[in-house]
Structure 1
Amino acid sequence: MGEASEYPEDDWLALSGLQHYSFCKRQWALIHVEQLWSENARTTAGSLEHQRADHYENSETRGDLLVLRSLRVYSRQLGITGICDVVEFRTSPDGVRLQQREGTWNPYPIEYKHGVTKTMDADRLQLCAEAMCLEEMLACKIPEGALFYRQTRRREVVSIEDSLRSEVKRLLTNMHEMYSRGLTPRAKRKHACNACSLKDLCLPQLDRAESAKSYIEQYVYEDDVPTKQL
Structure 2
Amino acid sequence: MEDDLLPISALQHYLYCPRQCALIHVERLWAENRQTAEGRLLHDRADTPQIERRHGVRTITAMPLSSVELGISGVADVVEFRQEEGVEIPCPVEYKRGRPKAHRADEVQLCAQALCLEVMSGCRVEEGALFYGQTRRRQAVAFDDDLRLLTLDTIRITREMIRSGRTPLATYRAERCDACSLIDLCQPKLLGKGQDVEAWLRGQIAEEP
**TM-score over 0.5 for the alignment?**
yes
| Aligned match for 2:62, one of 56, 62, 70 | 70
Q: Does 1:54 align with 2:47?
A: yes
Percent of aligned pairs with the same amino acid: 48
For structure 2, the 5+ residue unaligned runs are 195-209
Query: Which one has a bigger Cα radius of gyration?
Result: 1
Aligned Cα RMSD in Å? Answer: 1.4
Question: Matched residue pairs, number?
Answer: 192
The 2-side partners of 1:112 and 1:194 are apart by 22
- Cα deviation for residue 139 of structure 1 reads 1.1
For structure 1, the 5+ residue unaligned runs are 1-7, 96-104, 210-230
Q: Does 1:198 align with 2:177?
A: no
The 2-side partners of 1:10 and 1:127 are apart by 21
SS of the counterpart of 2:66? strand
| Aligned match for 1:182, one of 157, 162, 165 | 165
| Aligned match for 2:17, one of 15, 19, 24 | 24
- Cα deviation for residue 208 of structure 1 reads 6.9
SS of the counterpart of 1:53? coil
* Amino acid paired to 2:112: A
**Is the Cα contact below 8 Å between 2:23 and 2:167 reproduced in 1?**
yes
Task: Name the counterpart of 1:160.
Answer: 143
Q: Does 1:34 align with 2:17?
A: no
- Cα deviation for residue 180 of structure 1 reads 1.4
**Is the Cα contact below 8 Å between 1:19 and 1:122 reproduced in 2?**
yes
TM-score normalised by L of structure 1: 0.80
- The superposition leaves residues 107-150 of structure 1 with CA deviations (integer Å, 9 ceiling, x where unpaired) of 11111111211121111111101000100111110010101112
Task: Name the counterpart of 1:14.
Answer: 7
Q: How does 1:59-98 map to 2 (within 5 A)?
A: 59-93=51-85, 95=87
* Amino acid paired to 2:178: N
**Is the Cα contact below 8 Å between 1:86 and 1:111 reproduced in 2?**
yes
Moved over 3 A (4+): none
**Is the Cα contact below 8 Å between 1:144 and 1:157 reproduced in 2?**
yes
The 2-side partners of 1:166 and 1:76 are apart by 18
**Is the Cα contact below 8 Å between 1:72 and 1:84 reproduced in 2?**
yes
Task: Name the counterpart of 1:116.
Answer: 99
The 2-side partners of 1:116 and 1:180 are apart by 32
SS of the counterpart of 2:147? helix
1:152 to 1:207, Cα distance in 2 relative to 1, 3 A:
closer
Task: Name the counterpart of 2:206.
Answer: none
TM-score normalised by L of structure 2: 0.88
